[in-house]
Amino acid sequence: MKFLTFTDVHSDFSILKRLSQVAEADDITCIIVCGDFTFMGQNLRKVLEHFQSMPKPVYLIPGNHEEHTSFVEMVKQYDNITNCDRKAVKVGEYYLLGFGGGGFLQENDEYRDLARGWYNKHKNDKTILLTHQPPYGTPLDELSIGHVGCKDIRRSLKRLLPVIALSGHIHESAGVCEEVDGVTILNPGWEGKIVELP
**pLDDT score recorded for residue 103:** 82
Question: What tens digit of pLDDT does each residue of 130-146 get?
Answer: 999 999 999 999 999 99
**pLDDT score recorded for residue 104:** 86
Rounded percentage of the chain residues whose pLDDT exceeds 90: 95
Residue 48 pLDDT class (50, 70, 90 cuts)? very high
The DSSP symbol for 113 reads: H
* Secondary structure E strands in 34-75: 58-60
* Secondary structure E strands in the chain: 2-6, 30-33, 58-60, 81-83, 87-91, 94-99, 126-131, 142-143, 146-147, 164-166, 177-180, 183-186, 193-196
Number of domains in the chain: 1
Question: What tens digit of pLDDT does each residue of 52-89 get?
Answer: 999 999 999 999 999 889 999 999 999 999 999 999 99
Structure pTM?
A: 0.97
Question: What tens digit of pLDDT does each residue of 79-115 get?
Answer: 999 999 999 999 999 999 999 998 888 999 999 999 9
Residue 198 pLDDT class (50, 70, 90 cuts)? confident
- Is residue 27 predicted with pLDDT exceeding 90? yes
Report d(CA 18, CA 73) in Å as an integer.
27
The DSSP symbol for 115 reads: H
**pLDDT score recorded for residue 39:** 94
Query: Helix or strand or coil: residue 188?
Result: coil
Answer with the residue of higher pLDDT: 198 or 171.
171
**pLDDT score recorded for residue 102:** 81
Give the Cβ contact number of residue 122 at 10 Å.
Answer: 16
Q: Residue 34: give the domain boundaries.
A: 2-196
Give the Cβ contact number of residue 53 at 10 Å.
Answer: 12
> What is the domain-level CATH number for residue 79?
3.60.21.10
Residue 125 pLDDT class (50, 70, 90 cuts)? very high
